[in-house]
Structures are given as structure tokens and as C-alpha cells.
């Protein structure tokens, strides 16, 4: 599975959403997420867009650069993780750091790195280069574990979970809410169990990467290893242990984009979280995920209020896809016929839903366009919000609110802009995290709309002032 990462609504690097897609892992491609450019959820549960899947594309105007403080750079020109001191010399102490195979593109060795002390002895296993593993080991999840408390309740069970596991006809195991869960509530938070650099699938032979993946699982502490080996294979059985591990990866992994500070930005990770892997798919899920690199943790929160007895679900794909495309992708990547209500509705309602999805896709680039000739307006942003509500796209409501906040502010209405910025913050924190650029941007707008870059921006441009700066913006596009 792949996971989608949220992409910000702003600049390319900027406001993206993470609810992505639980993306399905296609061994040979680190394909970027097909649709919105984001990827999502398990089995490749994606990271392309938030709700499980993803987020959306981005677009910020111009002068944003000043808003973002450059991270420190070490003497080799590497950006340091999370603004901390650079420590590329650091060599983490791994419980295991072999075997290795040489990649046929970069010539670098790809090895297994297991740390069985990680996360209060839950353990974690990587398949990547020494340098990348050591880089990840400089993040706070490793260096300041006391800063990431309360995670991984699932294997420890010190707090009663909000869900039980049960079998669902035709779907295998799944999770069911055992209490009321309010929109925005945390449902699960798990550190990565198995984290594979996507280059492994391109640079090594299948036999080689299967070996590394199997060692990575086998080196984990017993309870953790058993949880991984008990995961779904979509009903298939295997004689070979390596084939079993491979199928478990394909069925249950999320795609995760690289951390901002990672010097390798073109290749993300294929990541398994055994507890989160028990969420089944729904095209309009009641939960969504995002990955926090600092905590090396996947967080799952409720996209709407959930009643006891409801199944908890994620979207394995980007939810902003037409019905036929969604169904084809689910069948191809996870082998099941989607029977969620969005997939089985009657033809008139299915057509109405597809028409809304098409309109969402048409409007988004218009609102991302900050040039004088964009027809974007507050009314368009209201329609955009309404389409998200009609489509029950709870995982990306925050981005619709953020677009509305920008449009109202750009039209010179600071009060309605602030209302929507506050909604964007409230809906965004559980879906993409408080550090996500869209949330940070909305905080800045809500604090002082008049000082925000969007203030009166459309009005100025359309009146002719500020047109010169359109040329600067071209550089950013």
C-alpha cells in the first residue's frame, strides 16, 4: 500500500496535503502519485493527498520565500533535519546493519538497518543506504524519544483502544469503533516498522530486494515481527518465507514522501505499520493519515464524527478520482471489487458525483493561479467548499477552507478570511499536522490578515497595481 502525502495548496514545496493515498506499491516504479501528484495508503495505502490519500497540489504566489526560514546547512552543503544542528558524521548504533547489495545505478550499498531499542524497544528496520539510515537516525524520534510519548499503544495496550478488530465478510480483518470518536480525534499513532527506500526496487534484482526485506522483518523484536507476519496477503498462501514477506509488503505498505531535509528528494519510502494496516478501504473514509518525519510516525485521525459500531476506514487511493478510475485502481493494486457506498451508488448519483469531482479538479488550478487573469473569487471558493461537503471529502476540507480564506482576503474581506482560516486550522491540524505549511499559512493569515501576502492581492492585480510583480511570480511557477 502506499500512502499519500499531503501537498500544500500553496507553493509547490509548500502547502500540500498529506492524506494521501494508500498507494499501492508497484515494485518497479516510485511512481509519483498519479492523480493529484500525491500518493496514498496501505498495500500501498497512500500518501498522495490526504485522506488517506492525498493532498493536493500546490500553489503559492510569490513572496512567500521570506516567510520560510532557511534551515541551517552543514559544511558539505546538506540541509540539517528539522532545523537542528547538522550531524552527518553521526553514525547510529544499529542492532543489525547487514546484509548489503550494491545498487546498479548509484553503485551505493543498500543494506538492512535494524534498531531494536527504537521506540521503547518496539524496534524498526530500514532497507536503504547507510547515509540515509544515519540521516533518519538524527531525527527527534531517535535523538529525543521523550518528545514523542504516547505512541504505539497498539502493541502495548496501556490505554484502551477506541476500536476492536473484527472480521468483515469479503474484506478480511478490519477495525470497528467501540466508542464515539469525534472529528479530529486521534485514533492511532505508530512509528514505522519497516521502511524501504524506493530506490531498492529500481537498483537491485528482485531476489536481492526480497532478501533484504525479509531480513528486515526477521530482525525485528519477536512481538513486532509476528504482527508484521500476520498481516493480510489478500487471501494468498505462500510456501516461501520471502514470497510471503513480499506479498505482505505489497498489500500493506504506504508510500511516504521524503522528509524536507533529506538530500534525496526523488525517492520516497515504502513503509509498513502493522496496526494501521488493518484499516480497510472506503472511498469516503472516516479516518485519514499523515506521516510526521520528526516522530517517524504515521498519525490517524477521524475525518468526521464516528459512532460506535462503525467500521474505521482509510482511502487507499486519492479520493478525488472518478468512480471508474477508483475502482480500476483498487482492483489492480489490491485485488478487490470496491463495494463502498460511493462505488455502488446508482447511476444518476454516481454521475452527479463524477461531475462534482470534475468540477473540483477544474476549480483548483484557477484558485492556485494568482495572476490578474484568474477568474478565482470568494464565490468560486464557496462553491469549492460546497463540492467538498457534497462529496464528503472530510480529509481535504481543510484545504477548501484555506482556499476560501485566501480568496476572501485577496478580495479585501479580512473577517470572512479569518473565519475560513480558523476552520482551515481546526480541520487541518488532525489531517496534516500543525507543522504542515497550509496550517502554518492559515495561522499567519488568522493572526493578521492585513499583513498576509494575500491581502487585497486579486483586487490590486485586477486594478493594474502590482502587475509588474507577475513577472517575478513566473519564476516561482
Beta carbons within 8 Å of 23's beta carbon, 6+ residues apart: 1, 2, 3, 4, 33, 39, 40, 41, 44, 45, 46, 47, 48, 53, 254, 255, 316, 317, 333
Task: Residue 56: name the closest of 8, 128, 111, 12 by CA.
Answer: 8
Is residue 335 a contact point for ligand SAM (CB under 6 A)? yes
Stretch that binds ligand SAM, among 54-62, 272-280, 285-293, 439-447 (CB under 6 A): 272-280
Q: Residue 312 burial by CB count (10 A; 0-12/13-18/19+): exposed, middle or buried?
A: buried
Stretch that binds ligand SAM, among 72-80, 328-336, 363-371, 466-474 (CB under 6 A): 328-336
Stretch that binds ligand SAM, among 153-161, 333-341, 364-372, 468-476 (CB under 6 A): 333-341
Q: Which of 152, 190, 232, 286 binds ligand SAM (CB under 6 A)?
A: 232
Q: Which residue is nearest to ligand SAM (CB)?
A: 172
Estimate the crossing angle of helix 347-368 against helix 378-390, to 10 degrees.
150
Is residue 278 a contact point for ligand SAM (CB under 6 A)? yes
Is residue 229 a contact point for ligand SAM (CB under 6 A)? no
- Contact 49/6 with Cβ under 8 angstroms? yes
- Cβ contacts of 442-450, under 8 Å, gap ≥ 24: 442/401, 442/402, 442/405, 444/67, 445/405, 445/406, 445/409, 445/417, 445/418, 445/421, 446/405, 446/418, 446/421, 446/422, 449/409, 449/414, 449/417, 449/418, 449/421, 450/414
Strand pairing of 297-302 and 186-191? antiparallel
Nearer to ligand SAM, 322 or 380 (CB): 322
Largest Cα–Cα distance in the chain? 71
**How far apart are the C-alpha atoms of 103 and 249, rounded to whole Å?**
21
Is residue 277 a contact point for ligand SAM (CB under 6 A)? yes
Is residue 20 a contact point for ligand SAM (CB under 6 A)? no
- Contact 24/250 with Cβ under 8 angstroms? yes
Is residue 221 a contact point for ligand SAM (CB under 6 A)? no
Least Å from the CB of residue 276 to ligand SAM? 8
How big is the site for ligand SAM, counted in residues (CB under 6 A)?
23
Q: Which of 10, 163, 219, 334 binds ligand SAM (CB under 6 A)?
A: 334
Least Å from the CB of residue 288 to ligand SAM? 15
Stretch that binds ligand SAM, among 98-106, 193-201, 227-235, 364-372 (CB under 6 A): 227-235
Nearer to ligand SAM, 250 or 441 (CB): 250
Nearer to ligand SAM, 63 or 165 (CB): 165
334 sits in which H/E element: helix 323-334
Least Å from the CB of residue 52 to ligand SAM? 11
Where in 36-95 is the site for ligand SAM (CB under 6 A)?
42-43
Q: Which of 336, 384, 420, 453 binds ligand SAM (CB under 6 A)?
A: 336
Q: Which of 52, 174, 274, 424 binds ligand SAM (CB under 6 A)?
A: 174
Summarize as ranges the residues that interact with ligand SAM (CB under 6 A). Answer: 1, 42-43, 170-174, 231-232, 234, 251-252, 277-278, 280-281, 334-336, 338-340
Amino acid at each position: 500500500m502506499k500512502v499519500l502525502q499531503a501537498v500544500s495548496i500553496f507553493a509547490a514545496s509548500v502547502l500540500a496535503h498529506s492524506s494521501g493515498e494508500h498507494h499501492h506499491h508497484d515494485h518497479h516504479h516510485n511512481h509519483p502519485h498519479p492523480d493529484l501528484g500525491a500518493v496514498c495508503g496501505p498495500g500501498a495505502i497512500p500518501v498522495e493527498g490526504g485522506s488517506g490519500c492525498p493532498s493536493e497540489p500546490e500553489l503559492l504566489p510569490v513572496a512567500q520565500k521570506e516567510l520560510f526560514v532557511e534551515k541551517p546547512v552543514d559544511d558539505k552543503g546538506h540541509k540539517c533535519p528539522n532545523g537542528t544542528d547538522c550531524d552527518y558524521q553521526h553514525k547510529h548504533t544499529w542492532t543489525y546493519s547487514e546484509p548489503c547489495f550494491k545498487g546498479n545505478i548509484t553503485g551505493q550499498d543498500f543494506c538492512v538497518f535494524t534498531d531494536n531499542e527504537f521506540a521503547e524497544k518496539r524496534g524498526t528496520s530500514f532497507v536503504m543506504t547507510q547515509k540515509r539510515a544515519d540521516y533518519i537516525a538524527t531525527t527527534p524520534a531517535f535523538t529525543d524519544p521523550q518528545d514523542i510519548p504516547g505512541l504505539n499503544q497498539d502493541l502495548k495496550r496501556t490505554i484502551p483502544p477506541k476500536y476492536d478488530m473484527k472480521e468483515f465478510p469479503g474484506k478480511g480483518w478490519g477495525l470497528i469503533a467501540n466508542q464515539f470518536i469525534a472529528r479530529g480525534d486521534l485514533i492511532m499513532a505508530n512509528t514505522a516498522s519497516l521502511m524501504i527506500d524506493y530506490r531498492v526496487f529500481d537498483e537491485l534484482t528482485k531476489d536481492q530486494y526480497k532478501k533484504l526485506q525479509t531480513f528486515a522483518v526477521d530482525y525485528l523484536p519477536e512481538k513486532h515481527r509476528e504482527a508484521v507476519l500476520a498481516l493480510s496477503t489478500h487471501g494468498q498462501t505462500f510456501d516461501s518465507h520471502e514470497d510471503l514477506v513480499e506479498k505482505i509488503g505489497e498489500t500493506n505498505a504506504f508510500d511516504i514522501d521524503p522528509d524536507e531535509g533529506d538530500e534525496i528528494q526523488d525517492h520516497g519510502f515504502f513503509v509498513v505499520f502493522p496496526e494501521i494496516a488493518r484499516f480497510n478501504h472506503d472511498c469516503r473514509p472516516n479516518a485519514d493519515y499523515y506521516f510526521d518525519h520528526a516522530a517517524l510516525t504515521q498519525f490517524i485521525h477521524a475525518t468526521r464524527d464516528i459512532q460506535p459500531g462503525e467500521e474505521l476506514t482509510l482511502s487507499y487511493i486519492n479520493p478525488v478520482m472518478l468512480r471508474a478510475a477508483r475502482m480500476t485502481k483498487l482492483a489492480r493494486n489490491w485485488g478487490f471489487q470496491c463495494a463502498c457506498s460511493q462505488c455502488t451508488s446508482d447511476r444518476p448519483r454516481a454521475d452527479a458525483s463524477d461531475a462534482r469531482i470534475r468540477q473540483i479538479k477544474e476549480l483548483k488550478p484557477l484558485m492556485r493561479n494568482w495572476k490578474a487573469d484568474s477568474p478565482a473569487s470568494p464565490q468560486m471558493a464557496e462553491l469549492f467548499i460546497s463540492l467538498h461537503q457534497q462529496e464528503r471529502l472530510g480529509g481535504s476540507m481543510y484545504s477548501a477552507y484555506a482556499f476560501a480564506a485566501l480568496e476572501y482576503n485577496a478580495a479585501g474581506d479580512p473577517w470572512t478570511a479569518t473565519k475560513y482560516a480558523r476552520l482551515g486550522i481546526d480541520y487541518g491540524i488532525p489531517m496534516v499536522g500543525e507543522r504542515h505549511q497550509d496550517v502554518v499559512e492559515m495561522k499567519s493569515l488568522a493572526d493578521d490578515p492585513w499583513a498576509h501576502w494575500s491581502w487585497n492581492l486579486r483586487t490590486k492585480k485586477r486594478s493594474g497595481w502590482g502587475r509588474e510583480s507577475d513577472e517575478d511570480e513566473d519564476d516561482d511557477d
